[in-house]
Amino acid sequence: MSPQADPTLFPNHPKLDDKAYIGRFAPSPSGPLHFGSLIAALGSYLRARAEQGQWLVRIEDIDPPREVAGASDLILKTLEAYGLHWDGAVLYQSSRLDDYQARLNSLLAEDMAYYCQCTRKQIQAMGGTYDGRCAKRTPKHDSGAIRIRNTLAIDCFNDELLGAIEVEPAFAAEDFIIKRRDGLYAYQLAVVMDDAFQGITEVVRGADLLTSSARQATLFCLFGEHTPKWLHLPLACAQPGMKLSKQNHAPAIDLKAPQASINAALAFLGQPPCEPDRVEIMLAQAVSQFDLSRIPRQQEIILPPGA
């Protein structure tokens, strides 16, 4: 558990049983946190604390081929070095595998999901969108990827920053994968089940996941769960369409001198700077002056060279 926020710095900080607002930061342990990660972490943290709510941390460690040894511990160490202290215990998705499988078993038994053996090449031949052919197959497949039977086709939702968001109807209507052919649980299934399990009331994250929210809203509704609000932050990009990421070797943020990175992240989010000080004091100031309306309403911001 992270050290709790100093009550003298956050006098309105709620107790853990206060369910009014619950936000989260959910990194995957595929490498150290970089500036783009800091934007998501800080943005979600400021929103939660400004709403006098809880801020949870979840490690999304259900894709072993992409994970880096020691990354989970380094991520938590980095958050603490930046004063981003979370509430409660960290939830590791790897501890939830039995729950994911139980839900899949129930969906299959209720004919709300089905096995599919179509390859990527076959789907490309369909025009790039899966046409649901395995749902109609008799007899049905008993192995392969598992797809949700998408009876809702949610193609629009509201973003708290960007307003009304619409996705392509064909994308919205697709029976998408909830367990991969290789046996790994799909992100869409795990994130929805975990957000519901943790009682998340608002999801604050990068705009690269904007269209995923339509599919996640579909699952929340199909599962009979409360759908959270959505708030997608602009992405920090090295060039158009190329966000900072662990995959393109974005440098790790500095653990020894976090004040400059905090102010750079605040500037990116359109927030006023804080006086360089102990990180907890800086964050208390940042929370007190947080203004959602100042966050740029765009999906990407190109960073200057060397930033």
The pLDDT of residue 117 is above 70: yes
Angle at the Cα of 171 from the Cα atoms of 170 and 173, rounded to 5 degrees: 65
Residue 158 placed within a domain = no
Nearest Cα neighbor of 9 from 288, 255, 293, 304 is 288
* pLDDT score recorded for residue 306: 57
**DSSP type of residue 256:** S
Separation between Cα atoms, residue 39 and residue 241, nearest integer Å: 17
CA 16 to chain CA centroid, nearest Å: 21
* pLDDT score recorded for residue 243: 79
Judging by beta carbons within 10 Å of its beta carbon (0-12, 13-18, 19+), is residue 216 exposed, middle or buried?
Answer: buried
Nearest Cα neighbor of 245 from 28, 71, 36 is 36
**CA-derived radius of gyration, the chain:** 20
Domain count, the chain: 1
The pLDDT of residue 213 is above 80: yes
* pLDDT score recorded for residue 18: 45
Which amino acid does the sequence have at 58? R
Name which of 12-16, 69-73, 120-124, 263-267 the model is least confident about.
Answer: 12-16
The interaxial angle of helices 187-197 and 212-222, nearest 10 deg, is 60
Residue 128 placed within a domain = yes
* pLDDT score recorded for residue 248: 63
Task: Give the residue numbers spanning the domain of 169.
Answer: 98-148+165-179
* pLDDT score recorded for residue 245: 74
Residue 171 placed within a domain = yes
* pLDDT score recorded for residue 1: 42
Residue 300 placed within a domain = no
Residue 131 placed within a domain = yes
Residue 114 placed within a domain = yes
Residue 109 placed within a domain = yes
Contact 303, 265 (CB under 8 A): no
CATH number of the domain that residue 169 is part of: 3.40.50.620
- What pLDDT, in 10s, does the model give residues 20-59? 899 999 999 999 999 999 999 999 999 999 999 999 999 9
Separation between Cα atoms, residue 271 and residue 294, nearest integer Å: 6
Residue 170 placed within a domain = yes
